[in-house]
Chains A and B, each alone.
Chain A
Amino acid sequence: MNKRMIAYILGILLLCEAGLMLLPTVVSLIYGESVVTSFLITISLLIATGLVLVAMKPKNKTIYARHGLVIVALGWILMSLFGALPFYFSEEIPNYLDALFEAVSGFTTTGSSILTDVEALSKSMLFWRSFTHWIGGMGVLVFIMAVLPLAGGGGDLHLMRAESPGPNVSKLVPKSSKTAQILYSIYLVMTVLEIFILLFGGMSLFESVTITFGTAGTGGFGILNSSIASYSPFCQGVITVFMALFGINFNFYFLLLCKKFKDAFKSEELWTYLAIMLSAIVVIAINVKDMFTSFGEALHHSAFQVSSVMTTTGYATTDFNQWPELSRMIMLAVMCVGACAGSTGGGLKVSRVIILLKSARREFRRISHPRSVKIITFDGNRLSDDTIRNTFAYFFIYVMIFAASTLVVALDNFDFTTTVTSVIATLNNIGPGLNMVGATGNFSEFSFLSKLVLIADMLLGRLEIFPLLFLFAPSKQKVKIFSKIRNKF
């Protein structure tokens, strides 16, 4: 293990977080809020720790896949630990674990909250909360990579693979750093676009910026207790569309930019994603039409809610917890499917679902025709057995983690739906679940242990399980190094 290189990159990551935290500091200065001190303390802590780590400049800059996993896992944990400090120092969230829950929920773009009254937070804290979504959406290491080359050669790719969601992370252009730049440019342009449209729709600047951060990262932290319900139907519509857009694989936009329309629209994942979304919207709209004054209104709310949970954002314009059981179950199903790979959304990812379905069909065919040979294709390209095996392993571990987490959360003795959906909502980075943790509820009632498990679930979900699992999986090689690192926490 190249420990120095790991420390060096983590140091840069913390310095970068310090830089990003200047933004909420400026916001607090603009609104003249006293919490500015808690940001400043955190920034100085970040800079101090960052500089210490960066000072160990590595001689050997090569990193391999396993380093990438470790860096990403440790990086996200450190980032969250520090990101929680402003909430804690300002005493707006007096319990550190709660603050950590909120920060992890932010960075992993989950949007689950332990706050019973969001509106009680100061403006700059609300801003920081939403801004963590934006940072976490595309990934902070990818951001750093866009600005400065971290580890030459294939090193950057290991980091990108470990941080970006999806079964098959590929580059758009030959250079990793350029790929990162392109991704962030697309991200930035779409974000600015949404801010402007929401401003046009009559929101204040602060509202439109924070809401957009939540949409872009597919996070879901609102700034009002009623989430998005009190905004105009126009704004809700805009958010619906943008949530869906941010749930699409960013390769799609890149191909559009390159004017390769044919390639862009032949994506199987895109069409499946849209098909699932639209059919869910229509079925739910029909199912809930009696609850609203017109079918149009039912369609509007159905579209918003489906787009919100499928992209794993978690905004709400109405309490879907009150909907009929069929609609609730459909919501639960699309929650698990999640957004496209390579988007800012979470969940199992549409492409994984497609791969699982296709290989399941192949295995089924093999039972009746034992000698049949069939290649699984995706977007017209042959899928390697490695990818398929990886997808199955991922799915299995995902289910196992889900089951284990549910067991632990069950200790709190809440009802079945609450227990199950709280895990689904955090593991898939959605935010709200059903019943107690529904659109109007929150996670404040959970015990210390459950919160810890849910925090882990959120990180596991965002980093797609393997990095974090690798970090804590026992292996002879690692035990020595990590016992040291773990002792530091």
Chain B
Amino acid sequence: MNIIVVGMGKVGYTVAEQLSQEEHDVTIIDTDEDVINDTLQDIDVIGIIGDGATRRSLQNAGIEECDLLIALTGSDELNIYCCLLGKRLGAKSTIARVRDPEYSKDVGLLKENLGLALAVNPEREAAAEIQRILKFPTARNVDFFGHGKVDLLSFVANKNCFLTNKAVKDSFSKIKTQALVCAIMRGKEVFIPTGDFVIQENDTVAVLTPAKTAPDFFKQIGYRTNDIKNIMIIGGGKIALYLAKALNHLNVCTTIIEKDLDTALNLSSTLNNINVVHGDGTNRSLLLEEGLLEADAFCCLTGIDEENIVLSLFAKNAAPDIKTITKVNHTLFREVVDTLDIDSVVYPKFTTASIILKHVRAQATGNGRNEVHKLTRIINNKVEAIEFNVTAESRLIGHQIQYLDFRKNILLGSITRNGEVIIPRGTDILQEGDSVVVVTTSERLTRLDDILK
């Protein structure tokens, strides 16, 4: 596909890099010549220097033949305007980043009347991700499929874990709940395990399980599943706002510590029932005073990565049982950050990028049939889990799974049929209208039939 990406910030860069690796023809537009030149050094795209919201730049970038225009500049208005203009000039589809909560409310209207295919709000997506993690504090990352019916949980196998030092098929024959190990990371290597695979201590394990029985699953493998009742949030930005709103509905006791008085006042006026504290979140005694030791979860959402990381380390040190969630904006040093003992790390840039990628992947199938329902990347972005809708034309329909000839490193993880979740066995047969989750280490699956040889 011909794709134009306007705005080369961190998200723009991640998206452009990923799309270019997926063999799309990517043109990038940015006003800053240095940014363009730096980007061209690293990724195989073509660059245009100029304002992406002008006819001249867009036409230079070949908007007439463009299949998708993605506007990711820092300004919502510019992004929306850029998409409007692009649509008029011939772009087949447009995506805009809209982060202002007030604008976000009108996204439905924008989509309908202005032909916007997708509006991404990075902060809200990040808040949603944190909320999912809070649901299962033992898991490092949580994702869902089948409209929330299936959970994809990744966690680190510790010494006491029932799965550790056992072959997958042995341990799972003893576990009563339905579950399937779909990927394992050991050191820097990633495996799609077979039944004989032995899980070792400190492996990161990703498991697909029906949402209903997920807490039960954790109990059986020997993890505590305390509900989060008391949470402390440092930094009262947009993510904190979205998160606190959602937590409010769940009756979680929330404390937000915000440095800026005006922001703090604003927060407390929007959010009732929430304890907003004006103070410096890096102040040790303030944290203890506000009840760090009593909190079940500690969420660092300030704008400074280093501060977030250090605060989480401190919290872990002061209260070893606390669940810490750390927001990191920088995407470049992920390997290092993930080795730290700070439970879950949320990367809003990656989250945004993967939402856009999912959309592109769905569009790339062509012929209007949208098979990709959801796409997420787990385990250091090395494994993709994709939810496909099974269409009538699929070659998989009507065959027992064990007789299908799958490609290497592909795993059929779960089937959702009429709201029921099935963890598939060899004898199961796919039907039209099912949705299936496929886990793979090879990239670029756009159609369900791609998983066959």
Question: Within 8 Å of chain B (Cβ to Cβ): is A156?
Answer: yes
Question: Within 8 Å of chain B (Cβ to Cβ): is A362?
Answer: no
Decide: A173 and B40 in contact? CB cutoff 8 A. Answer: no
A376 to chain B, nearest CB (A): 14
Decide: A384 and B33 in contact? CB cutoff 8 A. Answer: yes
Q: Which A-chain residue is minimally distant from B23 (CB atoms)?
A: A175
Decide: B25 and A173 in contact? CB cutoff 8 A. Answer: yes
Decide: B25 and A154 in contact? CB cutoff 8 A. Answer: no
Contact residues, B31-80 vs A (CB, 8 A): 33, 40-46
Please tell me which one of the listed residues A153, A174, A178 contacts residue B42 in the complex, with CB atoms under 8 A apart. Answer: A153
Q: Which B-chain residue is minimally distant from A380 (CB atoms)?
A: B56
Decide: B33 and A174 in contact? CB cutoff 8 A. Answer: no
Decide: A154 and B40 in contact? CB cutoff 8 A. Answer: yes
Distance A170 CA – B33 CA, assembled complex (angstroms): 14
Distance A65 CA – B42 CA, assembled complex (angstroms): 10
Distance A178 CA – B44 CA, assembled complex (angstroms): 11
Decide: B41 and A152 in contact? CB cutoff 8 A. Answer: no
Contact residues, A382-397 vs B (CB, 8 A): 384
Q: How many residues of B contact A (CB 8 A)?
A: 13
Decide: B46 and A174 in contact? CB cutoff 8 A. Answer: yes
A347 to chain B, nearest CB (A): 26
Please tell me which one of the listed residues B21, B26, B27, B41 contacts residue A154 in the complex, with CB atoms under 8 A apart. Answer: B41
Contact residues, A147-185 vs B (CB, 8 A): 152-154, 156-158, 170-171, 173-176, 178
Q: Which B-chain residue is minimally distant from A65 (CB atoms)?
A: B41
Which residues in A have their C-beta under 8 angstroms from that of B42? Answer: 153-154
Which residues in B have their C-beta under 8 angstroms from that of A64? Answer: 41
Please tell me which one of the listed residues A152, A157, A178 contacts residue B40 in the complex, with CB atoms under 8 A apart. Answer: A157
Please tell me which one of the listed residues B21, B26, B33, B44 contacts residue A157 in the complex, with CB atoms under 8 A apart. Answer: B44
Question: Within 8 Å of chain A (Cβ to Cβ): is B431?
Answer: no
Decide: A174 and B41 in contact? CB cutoff 8 A. Answer: no
Decide: B44 and A175 in contact? CB cutoff 8 A. Answer: yes
| Interface core residue of A64, A153, A176 (most chain B CB under 10 Å) | A153
B15 to chain A, nearest CB (A): 14
Which residues in A have their C-beta under 8 angstroms from that of B131? Answer: none
Which residues in A have their C-beta under 8 angstroms from that of B43? Answer: 153-154
Decide: B44 and A176 in contact? CB cutoff 8 A. Answer: yes
Distance A162 CA – B21 CA, assembled complex (angstroms): 23
Please tell me which one of the listed residues B21, B41, B46 contacts residue A173 in the complex, with CB atoms under 8 A apart. Answer: B46
B34 to chain A, nearest CB (A): 9
Distance A65 CA – B40 CA, assembled complex (angstroms): 11
Which residues in B have their C-beta under 8 angstroms from that of A65? Answer: 41
Distance A152 CA – B45 CA, assembled complex (angstroms): 11
Which residues in B have their C-beta under 8 angstroms from that of A153? Answer: 20, 42-44
Decide: B25 and A174 in contact? CB cutoff 8 A. Answer: yes
A385 to chain B, nearest CB (A): 10
Q: How many residues of A contact B (CB 8 A)?
A: 16
Q: Which A-chain residue is minimally distant from B38 (CB atoms)?
A: A154
B68 to chain A, nearest CB (A): 13
Decide: A154 and B33 in contact? CB cutoff 8 A. Answer: no
Decide: B40 and A174 in contact? CB cutoff 8 A. Answer: no
Contact of A171 with B33 at beta-carbon distance under 8 Å, contacts A65-B41, A154-B40, A154-B41 already known: no
A149 to chain B, nearest CB (A): 9
Which residues in A have their C-beta under 8 angstroms from that of B45? Answer: 174
Q: Which A-chain residue is minimally distant from B17 (CB atoms)?
A: A153
B434 to chain A, nearest CB (A): 37
Which residues in A have their C-beta under 8 angstroms from that of B40? Answer: 154, 157
Distance A384 CA – B43 CA, assembled complex (angstroms): 21
Decide: A156 and B25 in contact? CB cutoff 8 A. Answer: no
Which residues in A have their C-beta under 8 angstroms from that of B44? Answer: 152-154, 156-157, 174-176
A125-164 CB mask vs B (1 if < 8 Å, else 0) is: 0000000000000000000000000001110111000000
Distance A384 CA – B35 CA, assembled complex (angstroms): 13
B341 to chain A, nearest CB (A): 29
Q: Which B-chain residue is minimally distant from A179 (CB atoms)?
A: B46
Q: Which B-chain residue is minimally distant from A171 (CB atoms)?
A: B46
Q: Which B-chain residue is minimally distant from A149 (CB atoms)?
A: B44
A360 to chain B, nearest CB (A): 23
B1 to chain A, nearest CB (A): 11
Which residues in B have their C-beta under 8 angstroms from that of A176? Answer: 44
Which residues in B have their C-beta under 8 angstroms from that of A170? Answer: 46
A178 to chain B, nearest CB (A): 8
Distance A384 CA – B49 CA, assembled complex (angstroms): 11
Distance A171 CA – B45 CA, assembled complex (angstroms): 9
B177 to chain A, nearest CB (A): 42
Which residues in A have their C-beta under 8 angstroms from that of B46? Answer: 170-171, 173-174
Distance A203 CA – B393 CA, assembled complex (angstroms): 59
B1-32 CB mask vs A (1 if < 8 Å, else 0) is: 00000000000000000001100011100000
Distance A64 CA – B43 CA, assembled complex (angstroms): 11
Which residues in B have their C-beta under 8 angstroms from that of A384? Answer: 33
A324 to chain B, nearest CB (A): 48
A266 to chain B, nearest CB (A): 13
Q: Which B-chain residue is minimally distant from A152 (CB atoms)?
A: B44
Q: Which A-chain residue is minimally distant from B56 (CB atoms)?
A: A380
Which residues in B have their C-beta under 8 angstroms from that of A171? Answer: 46
Distance A360 CA – B221 CA, assembled complex (angstroms): 77
Contact residues, A439-481 vs B (CB, 8 A): none
B41 to chain A, nearest CB (A): 5
Q: Which A-chain residue is minimally distant from B45 (CB atoms)?
A: A174
Q: Which A-chain residue is minimally distant from B2 (CB atoms)?
A: A174
Q: Which B-chain residue is minimally distant from A156 (CB atoms)?
A: B44
A316 to chain B, nearest CB (A): 41
Distance A304 CA – B133 CA, assembled complex (angstroms): 76
Would you mind naming 16 contact pairs between A and B with Cβ atoms under 8 Å apart?
Answer: A65-B41, A152-B44, A153-B20, A153-B44, A154-B43, A156-B44, A157-B41, A171-B46, A173-B25, A173-B46, A174-B20, A174-B25, A174-B26, A174-B27, A174-B44, A176-B44
Other than A154-B40, A174-B26, A175-B25, give 13 A-B pairs with Cβ distance below 8 A. Answer: A65-B41, A152-B21, A152-B44, A153-B20, A153-B42, A154-B41, A154-B42, A156-B44, A158-B41, A173-B46, A176-B44, A178-B25, A384-B33
- By a beta-carbon cutoff of 8 Å, the part of chain B in contact with chain A is 20-21, 25-27, 33, 40-46
Q: Which 9 pairs between the two chains have the least Cβ-Cβ distance?
A: A174-B25, A174-B46, A154-B41, A154-B42, A171-B46, A174-B45, A174-B26, A153-B43, A176-B44
